[in-house]
């Protein structure tokens, strides 16, 4: 098994806790939580299917989304749970999904891919489960190509109302549940390199939200390139006789 080390300084034991939790979930996931959140997953994949190129699905789980992706897209999936991945690999083989180019055991907080590798990066029902959500957001941004999209589907908590009250009631059970009932949306909105372009409530009961971000071009790199181009044009200016 690949050694899992969190770049974020999140302790290694956190990731092993996640692996342990999803070892228990793997046999029943598709018929329980996986089914409950099907509407949001389907909606996100329909949106992604309008796009072209490569897709990285982070926290791909048992691969419930995989047969839904258009065959024109090249899909790579990663997950930290070998038990969930085993199910996903079975699904790929069973459905002959030759557009799935790889399913890798990997930590979302320490992605083993080059910068700007994927046209679309998606994480569904994952960001509240990872040990260090801000580090995962940085990684999603890093591996997304400029002009590409990062799509998140998740439950975000509310301050007010009965729902907020219930979420706060369950907050101390976060480590037992394996996800954070209290998780404000602000925690995923801090990146300067990702511009939020869409926010939609999803079924069931608007409990989940889809967020779409566009990765901004690297302004610092662009400015450097422009300065270099101007400097080199000045150097090669033809000299008048
Ligand atoms: C609730 S499941 C969602 C699975 C799938 N995205 C879906 O739509 O059904 C969360 C998944 O995130 C994975 N996960 C949790 N922490 C992770 C991490 N740090 N890196 C990669 N995957 C992680 C879990 O192993 C699990 O498969």
Name the pLDDT band for 225 (thresholds 50, 70, 90).
low
CATH ID of 12-235, from 3.40.50.150, 2.60.40.420, 3.40.50.300, 2.30.110.10: 3.40.50.150
Name the pLDDT band for 1 (thresholds 50, 70, 90).
very low
Closest atom of ligand 1 to CA, residue 41? 8
Average pLDDT, the chain: 85
Closest atom of ligand 1 to CA, residue 179? 1
Instruction: Enter the pTM of the model.
Output: 0.85
Q: Which residue's alpha carbon is nearest to atom 1 within ligand 1?
A: 125
Strands 144-154 and 194-202: unpaired
What DSSP designation does 216 have? P
Rounded to whole angstroms, what are the CA distances from 222 to 82, 119, 214, 225, 226? 40, 19, 17, 5, 6
The best mutation among 5, 31, 55, 79 to test binding of ligand 1, ranked by most ligand atoms within 8 Å of the C-beta, falls on 79
CA 71 to chain centre: 20
- In tens, the pLDDT along 110-124 reads 999 999 999 999 999
Reply yes or no on whether the pLDDT at 170 is more than 90. Answer: no
Reply yes or no on whether the pLDDT at 222 is more than 60. Answer: no
- In tens, the pLDDT along 187-202 reads 999 998 999 999 999 8
Measured in Å, residue 92 CA sits from the centre of ligand 1 at 17
Name the pLDDT band for 15 (thresholds 50, 70, 90).
confident
Q: Order of strands across the sheet with 100-105?
A: 100-105, 74-79, 54-58, 118-124, 144-154, 208-215, 194-202
Burial class (CB in 10 A: 0-12, 13-18, 19+), 47: middle
- CB-ligand 1 contact for 25 (6 Å cutoff): no
- CB-ligand 1 contact for 109 (6 Å cutoff): yes
8 Å CB contact between 37 and 125:
yes
User: What gap in Å lies between CA 164 and CA 208, rounded to an integer?
Assistant: 14
Average pLDDT over residues 149-171: 79
Q: Which residue's alpha carbon is nearest to atom 25 within ligand 1?
A: 81
Residue with tokens 């995923």: 188
Closest atom of ligand 1 to CA, residue 6? 19
> Concatenated DSSP letters for 16-78?
HHHHHHHHHHTTTGGGTHHHHTHHHHHHHHHHHTTS-SEEEEET-TT-TTGGGS-TTSEEEEE
Number of C-alpha atoms within 13 angstroms, CB side, residue 23?
7
- CB-ligand 1 contact for 108 (6 Å cutoff): yes
Q: Which residue's alpha carbon is nearest to atom 8 within ligand 1?
A: 124
Rounded to whole angstroms, what are the CA distances from 165 to 22, 140, 208? 27, 31, 17
User: What gap in Å lies between CA 88 and CA 100, rounded to an integer?
Assistant: 10
pLDDT score for 207:
82
8 Å CB contact between 121 and 58:
yes
- CB-ligand 1 contact for 61 (6 Å cutoff): yes
Reply yes or no on whether the pLDDT at 71 is more than 60. Answer: yes
């Amino acid at each position: 098994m690949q050694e899992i080390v969190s770049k974020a300084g999140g302790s290694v034991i956190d990731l092993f806790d996640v692996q342990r939790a999803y070892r228990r979930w793997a046999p029943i996931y598709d018929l329980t939580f996986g089914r409950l959140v099907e509407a949001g997953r389907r909606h996100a994949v329909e949106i992604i299917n309008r796009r072209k190129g490569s897709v990285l699905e982070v926290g791909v789980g048992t691969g419930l989304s995989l047969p839904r992706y258009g065959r024109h897209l090249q899909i790579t999936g990663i997950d930290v749970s070998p038990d969930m991945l085993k199910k996903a690999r079975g699904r790929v083989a069973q459905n002959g999904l030759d557009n799935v180019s790889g399913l890798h055991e990997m930590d979302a907080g320490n992605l083993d891919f080059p910068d700007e590798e994927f046209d679309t990066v998606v994480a569904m029902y994952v960001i509240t489960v990872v040990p260090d959500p801000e580090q995962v957001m940085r990684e999603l941004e890093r591996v997304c190509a400029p002009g590409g999209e990062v799509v998140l589907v998740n439950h975000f908590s509310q301050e007010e109302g009965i729902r907020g009250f219930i979420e706060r009631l369950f907050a101390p059970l976060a480590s037992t549940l394996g996800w954070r009932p209290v998780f404000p949306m602000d925690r995923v909105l801090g990146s300067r390199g990702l511009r939020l372009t869409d926010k939609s409530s999803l079924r069931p009961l608007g409990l989940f939200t889809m967020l779409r971000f566009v990765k901004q071009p690297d302004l610092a790199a662009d400015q450097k390139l422009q300065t270099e181009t101007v400097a080199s044009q000045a150097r090669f200016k033809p000299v008048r006789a």
